[in-house]
Amino acid sequence: MRFLSTRGQTPALGFSDAVATGLAPDGGLFLPERLPDFSGDLGRFERLNYAELCFEFLRVFATDIPADTLRAIVTQSYTRFDHPEIAPLKPLAKNLYVLELFHGPTLAFKDFALQLLGNLYAHQCQVRKETINVLGATSGDTGAAAIHGLIGRPGTAIFILYPDGRVSPLQERQMACTGAGNVFALAVDGTFDDAQAALKEIFADQAFRTRHRLSAVNSINLARVLAQCVYYLYAWLKLPASERGNVEFVVPTGNFGNVLAGWMLQKMGVPIRGFRVATNQNDILYRLFTTGEYRVGDVQPSLAPSMDIQVASNFERFIYFAVGRDPAKVRQVMATFKQTGAYQFENFNRDTFTASRTSDAEIAAIIARVYRDYGYVADPHTACGFKELNSDRVNIVLSTASPAKFPDTIKSAIGLEPKHPSLEALKSRPIVKHRIKATPDAIRAFIDARAV
Ligand SMILES: *Cc1c(COP(=O)(O)O)cnc(C)c1O
């Protein structure tokens, strides 16, 4: 299978090249040239375990990787989860389930994609007999998940920038207490935006990029979206047949990567009724799906920090479909948005999406209510999903992080402090972080000295 850019000015690439490239050179995002139809395979898929299902799904896309190799990569990617089901679907009440996506090494759903991406990178290194240096900036979960995807992998090094003092102490420990020689946690003197700006400049430096075979870790990689389709399929297959035709997935949303994966799966012949985009107070997507206007706002830090974004980088993939797969139209929408900070869609087709918005005050109240009504402890991101449920549907709320990652918010909501053994273990390990100025020169010098 080949992959096209949403902006139509990049030649089609095979799977491995599209994954290695990340962002297309024309500024667009890669999508499969056609969406396969799995409707005839669902019966056969029912009997598979998580890793087998993931392999059967991905093999249709990753046609340039030999099947046995792909199977090994996929199997390896789900060995470090602490639940035998990998993505357990738990019933809470009639017509209400929670899909727990936090059983990976960093206790958030990003492990599903980044464990796989780490193994795909390592595989590329082997095939091409090259090393790779991965660079990214994070406000928390993505950096930790990316690090744990590459920890100790020969031929790789990973450099993650984060704003010093502005990520949660546990998130910092997940990045800075690995003890791995190929992991560099760079605590930047500045904000997340400062780190991001320095990073942009470094990636624009072609000579530096080429010299270190530098690859970006961010939320737009094609492999991340495809890996995330699989847990929607897995959850759907776990339901009693009588409920499968009436499912609405409720998805705590920031960059639109997670919910986009579910929606693409629906377009691949899996009969899902709809999706609810659950935002926190940073509500650009809520406003879009209720008014048809996509307008950037200021980011307000919230109790659900991994959803604190105002420009949803994966949204361009939805736009591509929404404008009838016309790359010229995508370029026009994105250019207008870049210039004016807004785009008003005419006759906006919201497809099967609905949206909700949850304030910080509501998050605390919802955590308390969900605990009282179902005996379930939801993390602050997942809590946004419980804001309102659709009584006409079978609701599956995606739980994107373990409550143990946010002990203070949970404790003040329900009086209990959730704990997780892997986080407790981190507390006794030394923090190894490198304080660094948020300038391209300082970061380049650091990488020059440590790159593989
Ligand atoms: C990243 C993240 C989200 C948002 O996911 P998107 O793909 O950006 O929509 C939600 N919850 C948690 C815990 C996350 O880490």
Domain boundaries, the chain: 89-106+223-422
pLDDT for the residue 217 = 83
411 catalytic? Reply is no
Say how many Å lie between the CA of residue 204 and the centre of ligand 1. Answer: 27
Distance 129 CA to ligand 1 centre (A): 34
Q: Given 110, 200, 411, 419, which residue is catalytic?
A: 110
Cβ of residue 255 lying under 6 Å from some atom of ligand 1: yes
Segment (H or E) for 2? strand 2-5
**333 contacts 271 by C-beta, under 8 angstroms:** no
**Cα 100 to Cα 150: distance, rounded to the nearest angstrom:** 23
The predicted pLDDT at position 343 comes to 94
Give the alpha-carbon dihedral of 383, 399, 279, 95, to 10 degrees. -80
For a ligand 1 pocket test, name from 101, 276, 306 the mutation site with the most ligand atoms within 8 angstroms of its C-beta.
306
**Which atom of ligand 1 sits closest to the CA of residue 258?**
7
Question: Is residue 64 classed exposed, middle or buried when 0-12, 13-18 and 19+ CB atoms within 10 A define those classes?
Answer: middle
> Residue 393 carries which DSSP code?
S
Please answer whether residues 215 and 122 qualify as being in contact, where contact means their C-beta atoms are separated by less than 8 angstroms.
Answer: no
Pairing between β-strand 89-93 and β-strand 353-357 as defined by DSSP bridges: unpaired
Q: Beta strand 214-216 with 183-189: parallel, antiparallel or unpaired?
A: unpaired
For residue 2 the two structure tokens come to: 């080949």
Q: Say what the pLDDT of residue 194 is.
A: 86
Which residues, 6 or more positions from 450, have their beta carbon under 8 angstroms from its beta carbon?
157, 159, 184
Question: What φ, ψ does residue 23 adopt, rounded to 5°?
Answer: -80, 130
Q: Which atom of ligand 1 is nearest to the CA of 255?
A: 8
Q: Rg of the chain's alpha carbons, rounded to an integer?
A: 21
CA 242–ligand 1 middle distance (angstroms): 30
Q: How many angstroms separate the first and last alpha carbons of the chain? A: 32
Nearest CA to ligand 1 atom 8: 255
> Nearest C-alpha to atom 2 of ligand 1 is from which residue?
306
The residues that bridge with 14 in the sheet, in sequence order, are 2
In SS3 terms, 147-162 reads as HHHHCCCCCEEEEEEE
Q: Is the CB of 254 under 6 A from ligand 1?
A: yes
Q: Is the CB of 141 under 6 A from ligand 1?
A: yes
Ligand 1 close to Cβ of residue 224 (< 6 A): no
Query: What single-letter DSSP state applies at residue 442?
Result: H
Ligand 1, residue 259: give the atom nearest the CA: 9
Task: Give 383 Cα–ligand 1 centroid separation in angstroms.
Answer: 13
- Helix H or strand E segment including 226: helix 222-238
Question: Is the minimum distance from the CB of 146 to ligand 1 under 6 angstroms?
Answer: no
Residue nearest to atom 1 of ligand 1 (CA): 306
Compute the distance from residue 278 Cα to the ligand 1 centre, in Å: 11
**108 C-alpha vs ligand 1 centroid, how far in Å?**
8
- The pick from 102, 110, 260, 402 for probing ligand 1's pocket by mutation, whose C-beta has the most ligand atoms within 8 angstroms, reads 110
Burial per residue of 34-43, b for 16 or more beta-carbon CB atoms within 10 angstroms, e otherwise: eeeebeebee
Pairing of strands 214-216, 132-137: parallel
Got the DSSP string for 313-343? TTHHHHHHHHTTS-HHHHHHHHHHHHHHSEE
Q: Which of 183, 111, 90, 201 lies closest to 444 in space, CA to CA?
A: 201
Tokens of 113: 């994609």
**In the CATH hierarchy, which top-level class contains the domain 89-106+223-422?**
alpha beta
Q: Are 333 and 280 in contact (CB under 8 A)?
A: no
Q: Is 253 in the pocket of ligand 1 (CB under 6 A)?
A: yes
Ligand 1 within 6 A of 400 CB?
yes
In DSSP terms, which residues pair with 132 in a beta bridge?
156
C-alpha closest to that of 444 among 179, 22, 196, 159: 159
pLDDT per position as a tens digit, 427-436: 999 999 999 9
Q: How far is the CA of 210 from the centre of ligand 1 (A)?
A: 31
Which residues of the chain carry a pLDDT beneath 70?
none
Q: Is the CB of 28 under 6 A from ligand 1?
A: no
Pairing of strands 353-357, 274-279: parallel
403 CB within 6 A, ligand 1? no
276 lines ligand 1 (CB under 6 A): no
Distance 363 CA to ligand 1 centre (A): 16
Ligand 1 centroid to residue 325 C-alpha, Å: 26
Query: How confident is the model at residue 9, as a pLDDT?
Result: 96
Evaluate: CB of 252 within 6 angstroms of ligand 1: yes
Residue 260 near ligand 1, beta carbon < 6 Å: no
> At 277, which helix (H) or strand (E)?
strand 274-279
- Supply the DSSP symbol for 160: E
pLDDT of residue 335: 95
Q: What's the rounded Cα separation, in Å, for the pair 97 and 244? A: 12
Distance CA 198, CA 35 (A): 36
pLDDT, residue 206, reads 86
Mutate which of 100, 224, 255 for ligand 1 pocket (most atoms within 8 A of beta carbon): 255
Tell me the one-letter amino acid at 210: T
